[in-house]
Amino acid sequence: MAQTSKTAVRRIVTTVFTFFFLCNVILAVLALGATFGGGRPMSVLPEDTGPAIRVFIVLAGTALAWLLARWLYLQMLHGDFGPDESASGAAALMVYLVLLFSGAVFAGPVLWAWLLLLLLVMILIALFGLRSTVGTLLAAIVITVCLATGVILYYFLPSLQS
């Protein structure tokens, strides 16, 4: 029973990680297309949005990231993972979400290159922070498939090419 539970938790962690990593790849491709393709740069919030609203969005995103990480941590503990493995996997995903919310709210339209840095951070988090949970091979496969999807998206959407 514990092995089935551990397998189910691995699927949950892999699914959550894949979803957020794929979202980051798609955002990075769209940002690159808008920045270097001569299009209008992407903007999450209007430029005249006040700092209090931006801070509120970051705090709400941080709370959401904490709730998701806590849920993931508890799922992993119930799936017979050790506390260190559970904390590592949950913290990796929480840090990624906090970075994504912070960057999306505070980066202006000109600074969308931060998504590439965030993508690199996510790859490192996946390989080092989640390798004991989802496995190095599975993390590498997910990263490769998501990056291949980004390359395909870039080359097959005509609006992204210059």
* Per-residue pLDDT tens digits for 3-58: 557 788 888 888 888 888 888 788 777 777 766 666 665 667 777 888 899 899 88
- Helices marked H in 37-81: 51-78
* CA pair distance 126, 45, nearest whole angstrom: 29
Domains of the chain by residue range: 2-39+49-160
* Per-residue pLDDT tens digits for 76-100: 888 878 888 788 778 877 887 887 7
Q: How far is CA 91 from its chain centroid? A: 12
Angle at which helices 51-78 and 2-36 pack, to 10 degrees? 150
For the chain, percent helix, then strand, then coil, each to nearest 5?
85, 0, 15
